[in-house]
Amino acid sequence: MNRRFRLGTTSFIHRAGWLENATRLAALVEDVEILCFDGDPAALPTPEEVAGLAGLRARTGLTYSLHTPIEASLASEDEARRRDGVQRVLRAVERTRPLAPEAIVVHVYLGDREGEPLAGDLAAFRRRAARSLSEIVAAGVAPGAVCVESLDYDFELIAPVVEELGLSAALDVGHLLRDGRPMRPLLDRHLHRARVVQLHGVEPGGRDHRSLRHVPRPAARALLDRLCGVSYQGVLTVEVFSEPDLAESLAVLEELLSEG
């Protein structure tokens, strides 16, 4: 199977910092998703670590994606919380700017966190989301680099905002598997705007971000066929968080790709 996409994984595979993780992963993948889950300055990579990551990119050709803080509530009904969410995202963006991340992944929750229902009416939710995302773009972030992630709700709820602002998408197929939702409608409607596709397995008990051996074989095959069929040139991120899960996942992908 001829792939044009870059294969990636997260910066938290090994029990180490961002730079050591990226250094150890550079021989295995082509992109590392820099996880900045906490927007406090002390929890971000240090400037020295960022300089090391930038040097690694220059030496190896490794690319980076940025996952911005997950506690940022960009469509919050609480205006102070919404503004704080924007600032948390921008702090992560500014700290990692020397890495020139090709995708900046953001969460836009219906409420203040994943799993909460829609706060207020749909039109108001979209206005709040659009205001936050517009503020991020106005701070100097290229619209196409901002990737709104598909979460636990129908992406069509946020899609008009993504389209109006000229943003991109991060399509989390693992979330679809976790929630028992079909993959094809999301790919049909939004793969053309995706810079990132995230894949991870779901254990029988419902825990996600596990090895790809937990992804049903037909689903994995259908996804890879689709990505290769449209010459997808973004990143396929194996979104797992341990060395055993990554090793097993890469073996699964190698087998599937060789079958094509």
What is the predicted pLDDT for the residue at 130?
98
Q: Which residues of 220-244 are buried (b: 16+ CB within 10 A; e: fewer)?
A: beebbebbbeeebebbbbbbbbbee
* pLDDT score of 87: 96
Report residue 224's pLDDT band, with 50, 70 and 90 as the boundaries: very high
The residue whose two tokens read 């825990």 is 207
In 3D, which of 83, 146, 87, 78 has the Cα closest to residue 116? 78
Which of the listed CATH numbers 3.30.70.1350, 3.40.50.10490, 3.20.20.150, 2.130.10.10 matches domain 6-259?
A: 3.20.20.150
Furthest CA-CA distance within the chain: 52
* pLDDT score, position 260: 64
Please, which residues bridge with residue 147 across strands?
Answer: 105, 168
Question: Residue 157: what pLDDT?
Answer: 97
Burial 23-57 (b: 16+ CB within 10 A, else e): bebbeebbbbbbbbeebeeeebbeeebbebbbebb
Confidence of residue 42 (pLDDT cuts 50, 70, 90): confident
pLDDT tens for each residue of 107-160? 999 999 999 999 789 999 999 999 999 999 999 999 999 999 999 999 999 999
As a whole number of angstroms, the distance between CA 240 and CA 245 comes to: 6
Instruction: Report the pLDDT averaged over residues 204-225.
Output: 94
Domain map (residue ranges) of the chain? 6-259
Please report which residue ranges of the chain form alpha helices under DSSP H. 18-25, 47-60, 79-95, 122-138, 159-165, 173-179, 184-190, 217-229, 243-259
Is 47 a residue whose pLDDT tops 70?
yes
- pLDDT over 70 (residue 234): yes
Q: How far is CA 151 from CA 50, 158, 173, 186, 260, in A?
A: 28, 10, 9, 12, 30
Cα angle vertex 157, ends 155, 163, to 5°?
Answer: 80
| Segment among 42-46, 57-61, 188-192, 237-241 with least mean pLDDT | 42-46
| pTM passes above 0.95 | yes
pLDDT, tens digit (0-9, with 9 covering 90-100), for 63-107? 999 999 999 999 999 999 999 999 999 999 999 999 999 999 999
Q: What is the pLDDT of residues 162-195, one digit of tens each?
A: 999 999 999 999 999 999 999 999 999 999 999 9
Query: Using alpha carbons only, how large is the chain's radius of gyration in Å?
Result: 17
Q: Is the confidence at residue 39, as pLDDT, over 80? A: no
Angle CA 80–86–88, to nearest 5: 100
How far is the first Cα of the chain from the last one, in angstroms, to the nearest whole number?
Answer: 4
